[in-house]
Structure 1
Amino acid sequence: MKNENLRVAIQGIRASFHEEAALKYFGENIQTIECNSFKQTFEALKDKNADYVVMAIENSIAGSILPNYSLLLSYAFPVVGEIYLPIQLHLMALPGVKFEDVKNVTSHPIAIRQCVDFFDEYPHLNIIESNDTAACAKRIRDEQLTDTVAIANTLAARLYGLDVLERRIESNKKNFTRFLILTHHENVTKTHPNKASLCFQVSNKVGALAKVLNIFAEQSLNMSKIQSMPILGKRNEYNFYVDVEWDDAKHYDTAIRQILKYTQNFNILGEYERHDDENEKLPKTVKNVKVPRTYINMKKMG
């Protein structure tokens, strides 16, 4: 997807994985709106300070980012797309720093968890958690830290002038994060969706959820994701977040009509085209992706 001058809100700063995902989905000519939290990205969209939000929802190793499911429901912005990003993690430091002189390693806790095998070999290193991978790289540059390395992507190394000491330190080389694309209702354009994100509740009775899942199977819908979340203040009651895919839209329409009989508070969070990367040899590097020239920091906007 190629778009110019779109304002895209991300959690984190320039050269974060969220920005990398935004570049992959929208192309290079975007304005990146830096936000301190996922909630702030939704607020930027709500206040019309952003046209789109790119938000991580799950990682193939760390699993689902549960608080983000609650944001999907509470803000009710439509999901209009998705992107799967291969997560390649590198160890980077100021130019001239040698690995044997390093005492501290800093990164996002999820990134650290994805590199446990590497750090098991260096138990003397002090692990420092932070809220953003790229921010860790920037801090090393800004504070000229010679005893600290960051775990981040190649975009961060280039943008903040760091040397990569060790490449691909993630434990699983087939590590992906799935990002959702959200926007205002008026920005939704007609496409040919073949995937939907749904949210609903079922009664607390034997077989209630099974009835819904059987309908998906009977209509030849592939359920690619199911996630349950407790409803605050209600004992033994859950929201179920389900992603389904289809080849024939008629089957999807029939399934929706049927499951409405067995669900409560049914919501279609979004209908969109699933991300197919069959022709890409993933994971791949991002060495040919340029960092966008413009960005907006929500902290500066007040």
Structure 2
Amino acid sequence: MKQIAVQGIAGSFHEDAALKYFNEEIEVVECKSFTSVCELIDADKVDYAVMAIENSIAGSLLKNYQLIRDFHLRIIGEIYLHIQMNLMVAPGVKKQDITDIYSHPVALQQSMEFIEKYFPNAKLHEGLDTAAAARLICDEKPKNAAAIANLRAAEMYNLEILETGIESNKKNYTRFLILSKHGNPTEGTNKASICFEVGHFYGALAKVLNIFAENRINLNKIQSVPILGKPNEYTIHVDIEWEKTKNYDKAIHQVLKNATSLSILGEYTKGDVYLHD
């Protein structure tokens, strides 16, 4: 059975992404931080990891880009998960009883319109993840509190759902990366995540980016990440897609000649988008 490290606990969105990606029985290894996730892979204590890298509302998780590079991990896949927020309580608790709401800070932020409309005086409590908030409600069974989490968490921790889909923006997706110590062979893949640095002269970045266009490579994401300890210097992360492997190989060789450094973080198959159940 594959062992998969995730940030958070059972019932989290990370676990949900792992279950959908692998589509088989897996053992999920819970971690308190993304750093711990990477340490487990690096020490060969798990087979793979699932790590959030960007959200369509909150944006990119820049620290996770740095972790992937620091631990020399390889991206072997991706999955896009539709994020739905739900209000849940211990059995018997009613809406009018709620004075406290627990969840991850991003989940609270993404549900703020609902909270301000129906619970303007509620005290908000931030935790490590949404599933941990659900488990707290399950364990302590407070008569005046609710959690915001996904449907799987409600099912796992025997909570009653008072409202579904309370997120402010219904087009809310998170992209999760599947990580390993070893990468995929290039053949059979159609997407890659790479990072590079360029010199400080006019047109240096544009020249590299034009290489992809000239080779019919689709550049669908570009993200600059500050280099620690080097003011005004950045690593450029890009995601690229191709139809013909030879075009990709040619483009990479040309980028090597025009960048001061280049790292291929992973070559994989473009991921599926999963709606909530």
Decide: shared fold, TM above 0.5: yes
Alignment of 1:196-275 (within 5 A): 196-275=192-271
Cα distance between partner residues in 2 of 1:189 and 1:7: 22
Corresponding residue for 1:291?
none
Contact kept? 2:187, 2:245, Cα under 8 Å: no
Aligned-partner Cα distance in 1 for 2:49–2:169? 28
2:62 & 2:146 partners in 1: Cα distance? 29
Give the Cα separation in 2 of the matches to 1:91 and 1:204: 50
Aligned-partner SS, 1:234 = coil
Aligned ranges 1:79-98 → 2 under 5 Å: 79-98=75-94
TM-superposed deviation, 1:188: 4.1
Two-structure CA RMSD over aligned residues (Å):
1.3
* Structure 1 residue aligned with 2:128: 131
CA contact (8 A) 1:191 1:272 kept: no
Match in the other structure for 2:167:
170
> Gaps spanning 5+ residues in structure 2: where?
none
- Asked if the contact 2:184–2:266 (Cα under 8 Å) also holds between the matched residues in 1, the reply is no
Aligned to 1:284: 276
The whole-number CA distance in structure 2 between the counterparts of 1:48 and 1:145 is: 40
Structure 2 vs 1, CA of residues 28 and 92 (structure 1 numbering), >3 Å: closer, same or farther? farther
Counterparts of 1:107-122 in structure 2 under 5 Å?
Answer: 107-121=103-117, 122=119
Question: Deviation per CA, 1:71-128, whole angstroms, max 9, x where unpaired?
Answer: 0110111110000111011000001100111011111111112112212213211111
The corresponding residue for 2:17 is 21
> 121, 142, 157: which one pairs with 2:139?
142
Cα pair 1:219 1:252 within 8 Å, conserved: yes
Deviation at 1:190? Answer: 6.8
Structure 1 counterpart of 2:162, which letter? L
| Identical positions, percent | 51
Question: What's the counterpart of residue 288 of structure 1?
Answer: none
1:193 aligns with 2:164: no
Secondary structure in structure 1 of the residue aligned to 2:194: strand
Contact 2:226 2:232 in 1 (8 A): yes
Aligned residue in 2 for 1:8: 4
Rounded to whole Å, the distance in 2 between the matches of 1:100 and 1:123 is 12
User: What is the letter of the counterpart of residue 183 of structure 1?
Assistant: S
**3-state secondary structure, aligned to 2:15:** helix
Q: Do the aligned residues in 1 keep the contact of 2:12 with 2:131 (CA within 8 Å)? A: yes
Q: Among residues 38, 42, 47, which one is paired with 1:42 in the alignment?
A: 38
Structure 1 residue ranges without an equivalent (≥5): 286-302
Report the alpha carbon displacement of residue 257 of structure 1 after superposing the two structures with TM.
Answer: 0.9
Cα distance change, pair 276–30 in 1 and its aligned pair in 2 (3 A): closer
Q: SS of the residue aligned with 1:211?
A: helix
Is contact 2:195-2:264 (8 Å) kept? yes
Give the equivalent residue in structure 2 for 1:296: none
CA gap of 1:190–1:230, structure 2 versus 1, over 3 A, is: closer
Contact 1:107 1:130 in 2 (8 A): yes
Q: Provide the residue aligned with 1:290 in structure 2.
A: none
1:155-166 mapped onto 2 (5 Å cutoff): 155-166=152-163
Question: In the TM superposition, what is the alpha-carbon distance from 1:230 to its structure 2 partner?
Answer: 1.0
Contact 1:204–1:236 (8 Å) recurs in 2:
no
Cα distance in structure 1, aligned partners of 2:63 and 2:37: 13
